[in-house]
Structure 1
Amino acid sequence: MHDALRLDAVGQAAAIRTGELSPRELAEAAIAAIEARDGELNAVIFPRFERALAELERLPREAPFAGVPILLKDLGWRQAGEPYAAGSAVRDGVEDAGDGYGVTRLREAGFVILGRTNTPEFGSTITTEPAAFGPTRNPYDPAYSAGGSSGGSAAAVAAGMVALATASDGGGSIRIPASLCGLVGLKPSRGRVSLGPALGEGWSGFSCPGFVTRTVRDTAAALDVVAGLHAGDPYDAPALPGPLAAEAGRDPGRLRVGYLTAHPRAGVPEAREPAEAVAAAAALLESLGHDVTPGGPEALADPDFPGHFGAIVAENLAATVDGLGELRGKPVGPEELEPRNAAMVAAARDRTAAQHLRSTQWTDAFRRRMAAWWSAGHDLLLMPSLGVAPFPLGWIPADDLTLALGRTAHAVAFTSPVNATGQPAISLPLHRTAAGLPVGVQLVAAYGREDLLVRVAAQIERARPFTHDAMG
């Protein structure tokens, strides 16, 4: 592997600015890494190498990331003139016009876009095994899942193809792949990053764009590039005290941290590796001077949450499918969808608009109940990033929907509530199984407090530097 690919994105940008590295040299090294490893991993489904190299001549040279390669998740993150499948064969030949706002800002920051990464069909599950494009494999063990729905992005970054890649998170889809691939993955606060111009919100506000990276400072600096309100956005996150990149070196102070190794909702089994990861992280935080005690928001125990959350997701999926049918001029039939999505769309069609609104109102109340725990004086909640142990490909079966939905519900038990509340949360790669597979832990802050997450995550990273063995 070219030594430059071992640098994080901030380091690569600095090497280009000082002349130690040229944008072409770095782009060609990244392309070579993709060509060498992607045959095994299947992370990059739409490469655009020749176009990317041609664009090097037009880089904004004074931009903060001029010449740094990046990959885009093939869900959201639309790029004008490029293929866009959202993990589905249904989209074949359907064109979308124009860059998304996030892609425009990435270009303005000087990133070199090398292609698009694999994702499950319409991002509706936690493993990247779409029928249309085949499974993405985990660089730590190709028999295992890289997670979803940002699995292609996570596998590419973990394997050292690029230093960072775009992602998005509607129920855990940044944090879960970050956990499984040993990366940093921050789900921003609702409204921090615009979904425009195509959308005002994703999954009724559950979904947020972000990144998977190998370092906290890359996550912070990349979010600085894309964050901000655009005219017409439905809401804006609270203003941060300054650039997130500056927070990575600041002392977080003495924080009050609650932690959960087991989910408080009945019927969610405790998984040994995630529980061990949280216990070790709690001890680390205590050693760093924080007040760490067991416990979390009582609202997490509410047995009605999964039903309301799942109904809202299914209804948004049905709207996506209907919109795609209108765009292509022919309705999308259930036989064109993967069985999981066909079932979700069918369930959504059995619900009324009034029932949808009742679920959103229930979620509004849930958000207030959750927020009360932070308002009562807690700073952070520490939980597993994934409610199950690292799992092999095929563990979420395509042909047994009952088993698939049950396993998925357990897996997202710690992540999906944070999508419903709109709070920021970060997954950090602090643990490995006996077999060497990564296991992440999740820290959740109050709404709008990405600054606090970056401060404490950087403190943890300094105390226990992250390792990235899958880079080769």
Structure 2
Amino acid sequence: MNIDEYTALDATALAAVIASGEITADEVAALATEAIARVDEEVNAVAEGPFDRPLDYAADGRFAGVPFAIKDLVCHAAGVPTRMGTRLLGEGFVPPADTHLMARFRAAGLATLAVTTTPELGFNGNSEALAYGSTRNPWNTAHSAGGSSGGAAVLVAAGAIPIAHANDGGGSIRVPAACNGLVGLKPSRGRVPSGPDSAEGLYGMGVELAVTRTVRDTAALLDEVAVSYPGDPFVIAPPARPWAEEVGADPGRLRIAVHTESWAGSHVDPEVAGAVDVIAEVLEAAGHHVERRTPNIEWESLLNANHVLWSSFLAGSVAGIEALTGATAGPANLERTTWACVEYGRTVSAIDLGVALAAVNTVSREVGRFFTEYDLLLTPTMNTPAPLLGHLDANADLSSFEWTTRIFDACSFTSLFNQTGTPAISLPVAQSARGLPIGVQLAGPACSEAVLLRVAAQLEDAVPWTDRRPAVHAATLMSPAT
């Protein structure tokens, strides 16, 4: 197997080739290491690694030997430094144990070779933390990789690895998936373990999974990691059958609502809205009932809740880092907007927090009511294709509210489903006139991952995307030493 053949395979296909004995896992790891070296000089997506050899994994796992990377945020591996995108952690904190999700990744056989970049503490729709420098989009390196799982998405899109860990507190799986031409599923709240360090990350808005190139990889990985652990705050309804079996299954005739206007009132690029309209026509042609409708969203209330919840969460995270390291947070080791959010978060009262959580309940009830009338909601993932680097500058001189507004104006279709805790998936169904990927989002009610995966697979067949290749790609670049 050569690099070109390696980069053409998704995780499912690569696992099958390794299991057949056609190539060894060690040989695949060498190819992946070479592929990472080829692209990373151009895109700057690696925070740590590639390692001399993959982290230990189960040789009998579903994805045994498939190259993988974990994001430098929340999920962590024993003995591997984590920086969370912040200079406050210096060279990184070395955790003594795996998180539950890392244990699941190992059990699935995923061969972790690197840690990927993220914005500082994950609060950005871009990945340009001062701790690492700018992570660049492989389709056009003058553009953003998205965030906060930007490094993960870049490595997968550029052919370096077929699948990578990602997490999502306001769109951080779906936004980089849209920016880089990938599949990105945000599962239901509580579906994937986030312990033992936390119960519900970011007041329940944060969830874990991955970015992939194919719907079947997303479904198969969800089967491997959707496991409850003792002490989890709740256990949600299990699937009726494995999610991998939903890929290719008939979704039936669904009621699908379509909405292309930003709930924030911010600009939506006509190419993005047009891509949603095309997919609505594809779904209608497939037999679904499609009409223009939207839940009644009070954006100001949603935005204010995000401001309170994100800022207080960041203040708590920074306090934890200070206690862990003995460092003192401030403008010298935090980016300006992070520090502004931390300062504000330290003033948030229990009453403020209660009001914010009440607003989340209100919007969740409205979205829940909406999904009694419709099975799915189709929207853009992002307002625009990937913006230029620096568009969301976390070191800008902005107040915490100005920064929160700027992020969610740019990512106005994703954060709603973090507040509701309901699943949503971004699919790379189109490209702009300038060759940048365009993602559309399908969202459904709680525990509707099966329906989302059926329809996603239906669209993958109707408007295939896996033959597209970005300008920066492991199969077309030479290694730095060449």
Q: Work out whether the TM-score is over 0.5.
A: yes
SS at match of 1:469: coil
Q: Measure the CA separation in 1 of the matches of 2:411 and 2:117.
A: 20
Alignment of 1:79-118 (within 5 A): 79-92=77-90, 93-118=92-117
1:395 to partner: Cα distance? 1.1
Which has the larger helix fraction? 1
Cα RMSD of the aligned pairs, angstroms, is 1.5
SS at match of 2:14: helix
Name whichever of 450-459 and 279-288 sits farther off.
279-288
- Name the counterpart of 1:353: 350
1:349 to partner: Cα distance? 2.0
1:49 to partner: Cα distance? 2.4
Q: Measure the CA separation in 1 of the matches of 2:435 and 2:180.
A: 11
Q: Measure the CA separation in 2 of the matches of 1:87 and 1:329.
A: 18
Does residue 339 of the first structure (1) align with residue 336 of the second (2)? yes
SS at match of 1:4: helix
Q: Do the aligned residues in 2 keep the contact of 1:426 with 1:444 (CA within 8 Å)?
A: yes
Question: Aligned letter for 2:284?
Answer: E
- Name the counterpart of 1:464: 463
- Name the counterpart of 1:35: 37
Q: Do the aligned residues in 2 keep the contact of 1:240 with 1:449 (CA within 8 Å)?
A: no
Alignment of 1:73-472 (within 5 A): 73-92=71-90, 93-265=92-264, 267-298=265-296, 300-375=297-372, 377-397=373-393, 398-401=395-398, 405-467=404-466, 468-470=468-470, 471=473, 472=476
Which structure has more relative contact order (CA 8 Å, sep 6+)? It is 2
Name whichever of 16-25 and 156-165 sits farther off.
16-25
1:117 to partner: Cα distance? 0.2
Q: Measure the CA separation in 2 of the matches of 1:410 and 1:281.
A: 23
SS at match of 1:225: helix
Q: Do the aligned residues in 2 keep the contact of 1:167 with 1:211 (CA within 8 Å)?
A: yes
- Name the counterpart of 1:69: 67
1:166 to partner: Cα distance? 0.3
Between Structure 1 and Structure 2, how many residues are aligned? Answer: 465
- Name the counterpart of 2:479: none
Query: What runs of 5+ residues in structure 2 fail to find an aligned partner?
Result: 477-482
- Name the counterpart of 1:8: 10
Name whichever of 284-293 and 459-468 sits farther off.
459-468
CA deviations 1:374-412 (Å, max 9, x no partner) are 02x210000110123320101113324267544322122
SS at match of 1:401: coil
Runs of 4+ in 1 over 6 A off after TM superposition: none
Name whichever of 168-177 and 61-70 sits farther off.
61-70
Q: Measure the CA separation in 2 of the matches of 1:87 and 1:78.
A: 13
Question: Aligned letter for 2:367?
Answer: M
Name whichever of 21-30 and 206-215 sits farther off.
21-30
Q: Do the aligned residues in 1 keep the contact of 2:306 with 2:404 (CA within 8 Å)?
A: no
SS at match of 2:300: coil
Using the size of structure 2 for normalisation, the TM-score is 0.94
1:59 to partner: Cα distance? 5.1
Identity, in percent, stands at: 41
Q: Do the aligned residues in 1 keep the contact of 2:29 with 2:53 (CA within 8 Å)?
A: no
Q: Measure the CA separation in 2 of the matches of 1:203 and 1:425.
A: 18
Q: Do the aligned residues in 2 keep the contact of 1:335 with 1:342 (CA within 8 Å)?
A: no
Q: Measure the CA separation in 2 of the matches of 1:347 and 1:448.
A: 35
Using the size of structure 1 for normalisation, the TM-score is 0.96
Q: Measure the CA separation in 2 of the matches of 1:330 and 1:146.
A: 30
Query: What runs of 5+ residues in structure 1 fail to find an aligned partner?
Result: none
Q: Measure the CA separation in 2 of the matches of 1:14 and 1:469.
A: 23
